[in-house]
Amino acid sequence: ELHPDDAERLGLQHGQRVEVTAGDRSLTAVVALRERVLGGTAFLARGTAGEGAGILAGARTIAVSPAPEPEPEPEAPAEAVEGDEPSAPALVVTKREPVKW
């Protein structure tokens, strides 16, 4: 969480992914603009999606900068084309004629 004035000064927007760094430790967070946050400070929830804020404990200063774009999701497998045979079928069904007694 950042005060809106600080976010404007840093060129950050509400909902933007940022990298929060202290020395050689960093984590990715999402900006939330809050008037109640004291200007010149930041509030980071104890737990974030990837790592807890505790990895930054003891830092006197932190850097907040835009985070790199996340890796794109892998593409869905191409749809089967008629006539393609599966390489390892999970189920094979065959038609059988009834047995005459």
- pLDDT single digits (tens) 25-82: 888 888 999 999 899 888 877 555 556 666 666 667 767 777 877 767 777 665 655 5
Q: How many CB atoms lie within 10 A of CB 43?
A: 13
**Using CA atoms, how far apart are residues 50 and 52, in angstroms rounded to an integer?**
7
pLDDT of residue 51: 63
Confidence of residue 91 (pLDDT cuts 50, 70, 90): very low
pLDDT of res. 89: 42
pLDDT reading at 94 higher than 50 = no
From residue 90, alpha-carbon distances to 53, 76, 81, 83, 93 in Å are 45, 20, 18, 17, 10
- Helix residue ranges per DSSP H, the chain: 4-10
Whether this prediction's pTM lies above 0.75 is answered by: no
- Look at residue 54 in the predicted model and tell me its pLDDT: 67
Instruction: Report the candidate in 8, 4, 50 with the shortest Cα–Cα distance to residue 25.
Output: 50
Strand 63-66 to 17-22 pairing: antiparallel
Write out pLDDT tens, residues 7-29. Answer: 999 899 999 988 888 888 888 88
